[in-house]
Amino acid sequence: MIKGHGGNIQEMAARLGCTPSEIVDMSSNVNPLGPPPGLIDYLKQHISTIEVLPEADAGAVIMAFARRYAIGPETILAGNGTTQFIYAIPKVLESRKALILGPTYSDYADACKMHQVPFDFAMAQEFNSFHHNMGQVEKQFHRFDTVFICNPNNPTGALISGEILKNVCLKYPHTFFVIDESYLPFVPDGDSESLVKENLDNLLVLNSMSKIFRIPGLRIGFVIARQSLIRKFLKYYLPWSVNILAQSAVIYLMYQRELTDEFIRHSQEYLARQRHAFMKAMGKCSGIRFYDSTTSFILAKLTHPVNSSRVFDLMARQHILIRDCNNFAGLSDHFIRISLKTRDINQMAAEKLLEIIHRGSKDSP
């Protein structure tokens, strides 16, 4: 439950006998351009606020978020990352049986396990580039009271249109739909695909600031839902769930809308160029297949005999940390995920990856 995520550079540094700063982390899905301009300086100026308690209910943060998205503050709850809400959802909704659209982020299943809620997967297939056929998948929804959908999805990068998801919610009013939009800001015109403003009886939307603004250490996440559902969350909500520097960061980001909107737009354009450049650097290598992505990361299948753990280890020897996707339900030991960084780093990673694939199962690249 705690292990198996990307970004564990401390463990890798100890294993390699180096410092974390010597490792290039291409396993964690955060924006290579972040944090946004001015945020770090703003937090430095407010560092003395750690001497006092933050707002217990993060009220000012909720108001700032509500103002930014033009929605009612009574439909929002702020927490210690979206993880806080993911693990609370089965209990809050009193889920009896959940469906998870996979292959996807493991915490949805782990949250069900924590609360002893049975769950099934609806797996997207490799032949369809891991895009779900929603016409087929939705035929299962009536058998479940809770459905988890990561959109766009981690680790595949596949996107389901917001209109399709809205229609599904309306079609199955007795099923709760949890739509995790943590990676949606990476999608050009992503706001048009968001369900944040829909306010449906059976809809919960998760929103994260960790990824696009590159502040995962601050732990900032939101759940947006009907007021009646928010009241249910409040039964299990701990005071001071959002620390005071995280609250300061939200205030800065939400009230600097022109700056943050431009930062997001620039990030989207930059990452689109980096995806193109990375794919060009990889060329037509027969030992690996990449899947189209709308996000900052790319899923790949190793078609060469060398497996994902071997590639992970050999890349680590080069101080490059990638994501071995072997522990994603629905994938195998031939899948890896690479989170894009700067052009030079991406070029270097492509060269090392090509070298490893070409050398096959030899001991060193």
Q: Which CATH number covers residue 253?
A: 3.40.640.10
81 and 27, same domain (yes or no): no
Among 235, 258, 281, where does a domain finish? 258
Percent of the chain with pLDDT over 70: 96
197 & 226 share domain: yes
177 within some domain? yes
Q: Are the C-beta atoms of residues 67 and 253 closer than 8 Å to each other?
A: no
Residues 26 and 85 in one domain: no
Q: State the residue range of the domain holding 288.
A: 9-35+265-357
Six token digits for residue 249: 């960061």
- Do 177 and 218 reside in the same domain of the chain? yes
Domain stops at, among 224, 258, 292 = 258
- Look at residue 307 and tell me whether its pLDDT is greater than 80: yes
Same domain? For 77 and 26 the reply is no
Q: Judge whether 1 lies within some domain.
A: no
Domain count, the chain: 2
* Residue 170: other Cβ atoms inside 10 A: 13
Q: Is 71 a domain residue?
A: yes
How far apart CA 265 and CA 331 sit, in angstroms, is 32
Percent of the chain scoring above 90 in pLDDT: 89
> What local confidence, expressed as pLDDT, does residue 361 receive?
44
What is the predicted pLDDT for the residue at 365?
43
Q: Name the phi and psi angles at 61, rounded to 5.
A: -65, -45
Residue 117's φ and ψ, nearest 5 degrees, are -100, 120
Among the three residues 258, 277, 311, which one is the final residue of a domain in this structure? 258
pLDDT at 358: 86
3-state SS, residue 197: coil
Looking at residue 269, its amino acid is E
Cα separation of 196 and 140, whole Å? 24
Q: Is the model's pLDDT at 304 over the cut of 90?
A: no
Task: Measure the CA–CA gap between 295 and 186, rounded to whole angstroms.
Answer: 5
Residue 113 sits in the same domain as residue 182: yes
Dihedrals phi, psi of 107, to nearest 5 degrees: -70, -25
Q: Other C-beta atoms within 10 Å of 174: how many?
A: 10
- Does residue 47 sit in helix, strand or coil? helix
- CATH at residue 269: 3.90.1150.10
Amino acid identity for residue 242 in this structure: V
Average pLDDT rounded to a whole number, residues 223-252: 97
How many Cβ atoms from other residues are within 10 Å of residue 227's Cβ?
12
Q: Is residue 363 part of a domain?
A: no
- Per-residue pLDDT tens over the stretch 37-56: 999 999 999 999 999 999 99
Task: Specify whether the CB–CB gap between 271 and 293 falls below 8 A.
Answer: no
| Domain shared by 219 and 302, yes or no | no
Is position 273 within any domain? yes
Supply the mean pLDDT for the chain.
Answer: 94
At residue 4, the pLDDT reads 54
- Give the tens place of pLDDT for each residue, 174-190: 999 999 999 999 999 99
Given pLDDT bands bounded at 50, 70 and 90, which one contains residue 87?
very high
Q: Quote the CA–CA distance of 164 and 63 in Å, as a whole number.
A: 29
Q: What are phi and psi of 178, to 5 degrees?
A: -100, 110
Same domain? For 203 and 314 the reply is no
Domain co-membership, 234 together with 113: yes
Name the nearest CA neighbour of 100 among 127, 132, 135, 126.
Answer: 132
d(CA 296, CA 275): 8
Look-up of token digits 């407010």: 46
Task: Say if residues 37 and 21 touch (Cβ distance below 8 Å).
Answer: no
Distances (CA, A) of 118 to 96, 110, 272, 328, 344: 7, 11, 39, 18, 45
**Segment 261-280, tens digit of pLDDT:** 999 999 999 999 999 999 99
